[in-house]
Structure 1
Amino acid sequence: MTDDLPPGGGATGEPTGVPRAAPEPDAPIQVVGRGGRRREQALALGWLVAAWLLLWGDVSVGNLIAGLVVGAAVLLFFPLPPVTFGGRFRPRALLVFLITFIAELVSASLHVAAVALRFGYRPRGAIIAVPLRVRTDLNLALTAEVISLVPGTLIIDVDRAAGVLYVHVLDVRGPEDITGSRERVLAVERRIVRAIGSPAEVRRLDLEPAERRNHP
């Protein structure tokens, strides 16, 4: 596999013609009480356990216990800065996110397997810059985690100030593949925000063009 950039990619991996996102002002600081801090830790532990189960690919009692132990150890020895969750859980949108994620996981796995089995084929890779619309730490982390779990895509850098993900994409044949890869990343962000985002974040996505807004 080679990492040659197709036409349209710059030396830094950022596609030509894509304006760099301007940083947004930081959200107002909120004081988190002990109860709120515990809820945030429980939420973080849940995401760590979910990531552990996805990485192992086997939902079993042993893996669940191991995920709880590893997640608790991470939170204990590597405490994360407090992340205030101001969103809302929307069960229907969360179900859409999970079903779509599983479908993309299967489709991407089959695609990577087909590329690996093509004798003599040398796939080209590209690094693309994807500015996110919602630039909170939580959204950056969740979107980056989901993208990295899908075979054929990998987060190689995150510009926290500008809210930009730099993604390595496998098997890029032309500019249309770069555009499609960027749209898939934005679609992942859209599904996450619709599932757990705040009303203000959902309204921000509603300002998109209709063809993007109606994408699942």
Structure 2
Amino acid sequence: MRRLSPSLLVWLVLVWVSLWGTLDVTTVVFGVLVALGVLVFFPLPVHRWNIFGHPLRLASLTLYVVWDLVLSAVRLAWDEFRHGSSVKAAIVAVPVLSDVDHVIASASNVLSLGPGRFVLQIDRANRIWYVYALGVRSRLACDKIHDDALDLQVRVIHAFGAPDEARTVRERAEEAKRRRARAVDDGTPRETEAP
């Protein structure tokens, strides 16, 4: 029998409790049973991924996400108040900085938590996220979404990624920002405005 990952078990129970929205004994017990069932009947490929391997980086990512949720909600509410039904949106192409599927999925899920934006599509072949964002009225706002998505990936890779990937991710993010700036100077289209 394969060994069950305690960190993945804890993560699945936390997701279960979050989905139900209540923290009581019954919810936790059923969460443990469902998580055990998932891990036994639908085993994941074996890999070394310990979500609690870097607790300080994980805490930093958590604080960043909470702060980003608050700021995104305030920004979206302010835009709705100012512009009403004429809130504009855009789809912004953002380079994917990781080669590891569970890190890419984690980063896209964290990005999609914020109100008013989500990862619309992940193009694995070309290593691009397509991020849909509300409240975009200028090229500068598109550039901010692009750079914020890169910064978020850096944080997620630092928290969950392999050490060799975490060492080089900041340089790759900065290079992607420089490429974006050069594309702006060249007039290369990068985003599509939505109605």
Q: TM-score range by the shorter chain?
A: 0.7 to 0.9
Output the amino acid matched with 2:141. Answer: D
Quick check: 2:93–2:130 contact (8 Å CA) kept in 1?
A: yes
Aligned length, in residue pairs: 173
- Give unpaired runs (5+ residues) of structure 1: 1-32
Superposition map of 1:42-81 within 5 A: 42-54=6-18, 58=21, 60-61=23-24, 64-65=28-29, 67-68=31-32, 71=35, 79=42, 81=44
% same residue? 28
Do the aligned partners of residues 206 and 171 (structure 1) sit closer, same or farther apart at CA in structure 2, a change above 3 Å counting? closer
Change (3 A) 1:155 1:206: closer
Query: Larger relative CO (CA 8 A, sep 6+): 1 or 2?
Result: 1
Gaps of 5+ in 2: 178-195
1:80 CA displacement = 6.4
SS of residue matched to 1:184: helix
Whichever structure has more strand as a proportion of its residues is 2
In structure 2, give the amino acid aligned to 1:128.
V
Which residue does 1:123 correspond to in 2? 87
What's the RMSD between the two structures over aligned residues?
3.0
Q: In 2, are the aligned partners of 1:172 and 1:178 still within 8 Å (CA)? A: yes
1:137 pairs with one of 101, 126, 130: 101
Task: Give the alignment's TM-score, normalised by structure 2.
Answer: 0.72
Match of 2:141 in 1: 177
Is the 1:53–1:64 contact (alpha carbons within 8 Å) kept by the matching residues of 2?
A: yes
**TM-score, normalized by length of structure 1?**
0.66
- What are the Cα deviations for residues 20-70 of structure 1, in whole angstroms up to 9, with x where unaligned? xxxxxxxxxxxxx822xx22xx544444444455556x4622654565455
Map 1:74-93 to 2 at 5 A: 79=42, 81-82=44-45, 84-86=47-49, 89-93=53-57
> Which residue does 1:194 correspond to in 2?
158
TM-aligned CA distance change 1:54 to 1:71, over 3 Å: same
Change in CA separation of 1:138 and 1:102 when aligned onto 2, cut-off 3 Å: same
More helix by share: 2
The structural deviation recorded for 1:127 is 0.9
What letter matches 2:155 in structure 1? R
